[in-house]
């Protein structure tokens, strides 16, 4: 996420004094709620959906995720790369390419 976007999210929260409500638990709940709303965009059809609505719900997930990163003092690149290291070890290309099987079934 670009620095100016992050600053805009932070300012939005600060201007409204909402940090007081942004406990890790509350933010995690909000991420799950917004992810559910994103999923709802595809509830009855996998191919026909309102892209604008998808973008709005995805943005909500990203904003709350940014809030969680801030609340916990985490760096998004660091945690994503750490998780990718684990994923690459669990899903080696030679065993997982073209397969949707869980790593325990490869």
Q: How far is CA 42 from CA 37, 45, 60, 63, 83, in A?
A: 9, 5, 16, 21, 27
- At 82 the pLDDT is 98
State in Å, rounded, how far the first CA of the chain is from the last one.
Answer: 34
- Domain parsing of the chain, residue ranges: 1-74, 75-106
- Give the tens place of pLDDT for each residue, 92-106: 999 999 999 988 888
Model confidence, pTM: 0.90
Question: Out of 3.40.50.300, 1.10.287.1080, 3.40.640.10, 3.30.930.10, which CATH number does the structure's domain 1-74 have?
Answer: 1.10.287.1080
User: Would you call 67 exposed, middle or buried from its count of C-beta atoms within 10 A (0-12, 13-18, 19+)?
Assistant: buried
pLDDT tens, 50-94?
Answer: 999 999 999 999 999 999 999 999 999 999 999 999 999 999 999
> In the structure encoding, which two tokens stand for residue 16, read together?
């409204």
In this prediction, residue 13 carries a pLDDT of: 97
């Amino acid at each position: 996420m670009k620095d100016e976007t992050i600053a805009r999210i932070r300012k939005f929260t600060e201007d409204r004094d909402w940090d007081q409500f942004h406990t890790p638990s509350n933010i995690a709940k909000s991420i799950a709620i917004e992810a559910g709303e994103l999923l709802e965009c595809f509830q009855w059809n996998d191919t026909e959906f309102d892209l604008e609505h998808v973008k709005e719900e995805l943005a909500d997930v990203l904003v709350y995720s940014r809030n969680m990163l801030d609340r916990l003092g985490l760096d998004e690149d660091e945690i994503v790369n750490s998780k990718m290291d684990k994923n690459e070890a669990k899903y080696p290309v030679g065993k997982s390419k073209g397969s949707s099987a869980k790593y325990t079934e490869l």
